[in-house]
Amino acid sequence: KNQVEQSPQSLIILEGKNCTLQCNYTVSPFSNLRWYKQDTGRGPVSLTIMTFSENTKSNGRYTATLDADTKQSSLHITASQLSDSASYICVVSAGGWADKLIFGTGTRLQVFP
């Protein structure tokens, strides 16, 4: 069964600190992995997209890693800001490049001053 699991479910950190969110997946065939940021009451916004051959990809203070062998990905946030408070969703695409998306349950991040 295709599944995407994320941990932790929720996380509280102080402004300026770093944090790492985890994503484990059992999706076959694997096509690509995406990280999205979803603010409360808004639609998801793409942060990174990685294919099988990519190990890391950065987008500003966000750095995603992918280990296709262990089927794990992480999203590292550097020097967190209050505006980073949101849900972060790991999404794995099964099949072709634009095929079915399997959503993780998300990690709810809260950044406090």
Give the residues lining the site for other proteins (CB under 8 A). 34, 36, 41-46, 49, 89, 97-98, 101, 103-106, 108
Identify which of residues 45 and 79 has a Cβ nearer to other proteins in the complex. 45
Identify which of residues 18 and 46 has a Cβ nearer to other proteins in the complex. 46
Query: Cis bond leading into 44, ω under 30°?
Result: no
CA 105, 91, 4: angle at the middle one, nearest 5?
55
Shortest CB 93 distance to other proteins, Å = 9
Q: Residue 89's beta-bridge partner residues?
A: 36
Dihedral sign for Cα 29, 36, 69, 97, please: positive
Q: Assess contact for 94 and 102: CB atoms under 8 A.
A: yes
Shortest CB 86 distance to other proteins, Å = 13
Shortest CB 87 distance to other proteins, Å = 9
Identify which of residues 51 and 78 has a Cβ nearer to other proteins in the complex. 51
